[in-house]
Structure 1
Amino acid sequence: MSSVGALTKTTYKRDLSLFNLVMLNAMGMIGSGWLFGALYAVSYAGPMGAIFSWILGGIFVIFIAVNFMEISPMFPLAGGSTPLAEMSHGKMTAFLAGWSAWLSDIMTPTIEAIAVVTYASFYIPELINSNGTLRPYGYLVAVIVMILIFVINMQKVKIFGNITSGVMVWKWAIPVLAAVTILTLTFKPTNFTAFGSFASSGPSGIFYALVLGGIIFSFEGFRAAINMAGEVKKKDYIWKSVIIAVIAVIALYVLLQTAFISGINWAAQGIPAGDWADLSAGGYIAGPFAQEAAAIGLGWLVVILLIDAIVSPAGAGISYAAYPARIFQSMAEYGYAPKLFAKLNAKSHIPLNSLILGTILGFIFLYRFPSWQLLVGILTSTLVVAYVLGPAAINVFRRTAPDKERPFRLPGSKIFAPIGFIVSFFIIYWSGFPLSLEVSVVILVGLIMYFYFHVKNGFGRRHITAGLWLVAGLIIIPIESYIGPATYGGKNFVPFPWDFIMIAITGIILYVWSQYSGWKTESLEKYLKDESSETG
């Protein structure tokens, strides 16, 4: 093991096959998104627009993910985007990457707890309001679920540590079973062809669905194989597994979306036929597929769906609750956060202080965003800030570490990187105003802590100047959201499609700026030197 400051490189046993990686990725992408995404996507985009949104969302994720396929295997380090950003753009950029990833991973157990409560309201209506927000009893149950998740992680119980074939079959079989059954028994072609069949609310609805409908959130599990880069049998398995898994999951979500649209019973819900926007304010909000199964008398399917609605989100919440604790521990080790949070508990060997902090902040997010639909937008946009580092770093490393071994070298990086970079900022923009502003505020407020440790540890001025492109982006995008079309919450000073041109130009400028800002940092130099001494 060699170290670069707090950057540690670990050698793993390479046992993971292509099938293992595809299943890891796919399982990470089949969570509470399948339980609610179809409802909110069609509410924003209309029937055919929703189907198109799932395909578009998968393509966008591929453009972001492929950049990590090259750089993550190059540096198999703990801490996610943080060490990669430190080596490509310095400490302030690394802090912002770690901070945004930390915040989004804190929100994940929270949103999964909300998913459990929302589906439970199928039998206990007192848990949620008619608009999907939690009622007092709903808050109580969600808090209990989050505390249980905390206790399990505190005891170091690795429920999902071993991926068994049974879990794989369950995660795939239940959504497919629900979709095929509902589609077979309730196929209604008119739901696809009538009532403004493509994009009932215009082009803006398609892009709103990507963020606020939970589509991008549903694909966030693509990280699994990339995070396991040091344990794969063959280097080309990484990129192959990501592409195969994303395409397979696109197909699954399109099937689910098609089934949900087909099964909509307007009269039973008391909603005028074709009033897509009001679907998310009706009875479907308590469990879209469970409601459809109940409407056609499939009690057995309702029971299975309710079990899955508890097991899958709770499992994902347990799994993700471990991530933010370790991210913040890494940030403390790198010198960006109080050393108190770098300590491991002597008994359980977990970062208990970081776990406690993350759980407390999770309660705050639960109070501020008390429904699945309200939380998914800020979670998605916050996570994307961490993802933008992949497209920003790949060609910087081509320049600063040209001789570094690359288990996978991305063809066409000069095309994929800028597109993935620009798409990332578009996703934040599509969250709309004022959500885009809230995303920027919760991320930029972290700089108060960073600057304290910057001065304390004497990091150097270049670490600030090299990260200004990201700070500028987080300031500019909310302003552009504010002056953009009213459909995104703006004042309509810049109408569609000129707003898209505006964001694209901003993205290009920020991308070029990020490329000039990257340099051969001290961390990168030391990593390469230590690696050379090991192999030499």
Structure 2
Amino acid sequence: MAQVAAVRGSGRSERQGLQRTVGFWGLTFVSLGSIIGSGWLLGALTAAGYAGGGGSLISWVLAAVMLIVLALIHADLGAAYPVAGGTSRYPAYAFGTFGGFTAGWTTYLQAVAIAPLEVEASLSYVNSVGSVRTTFPLVHTDGTLTGPGVVIGILAMALFAFINLGGARWLSDSNTGIVLWKLFVPVLTIVTLLLIDFHPGNFTANGGFAPFGFHGVFAALPAGVVFALQGFEQATQMAGESVNPKKHVSRAIILAMLVGAVVYIGLEIAFVGALDPHQLTTQGWAQPIGAGDYGPYYTLAIQSGVAWLAVVLIVDAVISPGGTGLIYVGTTARISYALGLPDALTRVSKRGVPVWSVVVATVFGVVFLAPAPSWQQLVSLITGATAIMYAFAPVSLGALMKNDPDREHPYLVPFPRVLLPLGFAFANLIIYWGGFAATWKLALGLLLGQLIFVLAARLRARNLDVGRARALRFSAWMWPWQLGLVVLGLLGNYGDGALKIFPDEWDALVVAVFSVVVYYVAVRQVQPTADIAPIVEEDLHDPDRALTATPGV
């Protein structure tokens, strides 16, 4: 390990370190600001379309329970290992740099796509205003951006980069006001719609409380529900810049997750209750507010005669997704910092900002805007990538509790022997419900990242004392895991290409059993304590955390 430390410390005197300037409320608002984004504008409509009125409520409650379990696990990890880009560092501690890079690569892919996706959602919502749609359309009828929409999107991405270049304190401070607004408007919408136009019968319209059964309830989760609730982990990505990470990170994650869950469940209740019963009777759940309408709450406000709320919603359609995009440009840069990319990308400025990482994240986002499909089409794929990222947390914590037993855990996840395998199963179920087409694409993307790692390691020829077989042994469980998810998706009942061989509603049990088996296999493949401790201590005590090393595979 001495050689590893020597390599990882190279260039330390030449680089500025990330600065610990973010307080508790800054971390809380970073997570909450990520949770309340375009999902609140579009998630309720999508959930109702898949699961019906009452079924959509079950989807939100189920997703909230699943993600709260995963949030508790992240809270434990973030408090015990408060480092920048935590979602990629935890697997690196447990399973070696190959495992860490695989997790970080997935994290990077989903994070870099979210900022442009939020911009696209904002433009789609603004496009629902009649005068915009007819005179200056920003979105085509299929949901993709027009030329003017792409230009405005690029300007928005440039603004995100500018704010992030100001530093973590500037990012968290500017985000605080945005999040307060983002929280105020959904609550205002809930109260207004409940008081002015509420139809309890909508929850059992067109086929009963859950007209599409459990299949519809489960299918709604990766179609927008989980996407809306994700983002709590952003506090762990910035833990390396927290003034008191052992105390603040876990509390920030838990508070943000609970607030987000309450708000989203309230929004679904208000949305379903405010729908026009006649529209539901004639068009069903496929078009509860009208074909091609990307502004559901705006339309409901106009129909209910609340013009002032419609104006507020259009303003918020810019602020809410914009605030989330702002956060993800910043955290994507910090993920690349933790991935161990070359010095040119991870070197930080005097303000403690990985400048070129911010620039690269912005460029990727701009490239993503032009050919991007609609918001609805992208959500399932991004949700699957997020679920893979979340899945690494339970196995990493279980492995680290086994082979890093003396680590202080300021927050300890309750009932770890139950919640850790359960959290891993929850993440895998979200991937499975996303459908076979998304699952095999995600597995291919993961394999691509692993090939990049191998190529980079060979070209850099560092840490050759780490034998390939020994280094890969700790991460060997990942290939059967991904292959198993692809096979389960093929045999399952969700998405294009699925053979629908499993009995409906029993398939979830099959995925859960598979997940528990993989969990215990993975935990047994953890690195030895002698390999874990030096890497963790260097990350925790080296303010620069020169993560430029990519040890040989």
Q: Same fold (TM over 0.5)?
A: yes
Shifted more, 101-110 versus 295-304: the winner is 295-304
Distance 2:535 2:351 in 1: 30
Contact (CA 8 Å) 1:131, 1:282: kept in 2 or not? no
Distance 1:494 1:364, change over 3 A: farther
Letter in structure 2 aligned against 1:273: T
Deviation at 1:295, TM superposition (A): 1.4
Matches within 5 A, 1:19-98: 25-98=31-104
Distance 1:23 1:135 in 2: 32
Gaps of 5+ in 2: 543-553
SS in 1 for 2:232: helix
Q: Does 1:307 align with 2:315?
A: yes
Which residue is 1:483 aligned to?
Answer: 491
Shifted more, 218-227 versus 33-42: the winner is 218-227
Deviations 1:50-101 (A, max 9, x none): 1111111111012212222222222221222222211111011100111111
Contact (CA 8 Å) 1:89, 1:521: kept in 2 or not? no
Letter in structure 2 aligned against 1:216: V
Q: Does 1:317 align with 2:334?
A: no
Which residue is 1:465 aligned to?
Answer: 473
Q: Does 1:150 align with 2:161?
A: yes
Which residue is 1:257 aligned to?
Answer: 268
Deviation at 1:157, TM superposition (A): 9.3
Contact (CA 8 Å) 1:87, 1:522: kept in 2 or not? no
Q: Does 1:217 align with 2:220?
A: no
Deviations 1:390-418 (A, max 9, x none): 10022222221212222122231111100
Distance 1:473 1:250, change over 3 A: same
Deviation at 1:366, TM superposition (A): 3.3
Deviation at 1:505, TM superposition (A): 2.4
Deviations 1:422-453 (A, max 9, x none): 11111111111211222222222111211113
SS in 2 for 1:393: helix
Q: Does 1:130 align with 2:141?
A: yes
The partner residue of 2:347 within 325, 343, 346 is 343
Which residue is 2:444 aligned to?
Answer: 441
Sequence identity of aligned pairs in percent? 28
The partner residue of 2:172 within 138, 161, 170 is 161
Distance 1:22 1:6, change over 3 A: same
SS in 2 for 1:502: helix
Gaps of 5+ in 1: none
Q: Does 1:520 align with 2:528?
A: yes
Contact (CA 8 Å) 2:106, 2:446: kept in 1 or not? yes
Contact (CA 8 Å) 1:194, 1:274: kept in 2 or not? no
Letter in structure 2 aligned against 1:475: L
Letter in structure 1 aligned against 2:159: L
Matches within 5 A, 1:108-507: 108-123=114-129, 124-125=132-133, 126-154=137-165, 160-162=171-173, 166-212=177-223, 214-227=224-237, 231=242, 239=250, 241-265=252-276, 272-273=281-282, 275-279=284-288, 282-285=291-294, 287-331=295-339, 334=340, 337-344=341-348, 350-455=353-458, 456-457=461-462, 458=464, 459-461=466-468, 462-485=470-493, 489-507=497-515
Distance 2:352 2:228 in 1: 31
Contact (CA 8 Å) 2:66, 2:423: kept in 1 or not? yes
Deviation at 1:164, TM superposition (A): 8.0
Letter in structure 1 aligned against 2:199: K
Letter in structure 1 aligned against 2:231: G
Distance 1:353 1:11 in 2: 14
SS in 2 for 1:71: helix
Shifted more, 148-157 versus 201-210: the winner is 148-157
Aligned length: 522
Contact (CA 8 Å) 1:86, 1:521: kept in 2 or not? no
Letter in structure 1 aligned against 2:293: Y
Deviations 1:267-305 (A, max 9, x none): 5x6x753611234872532x1111111112222111111
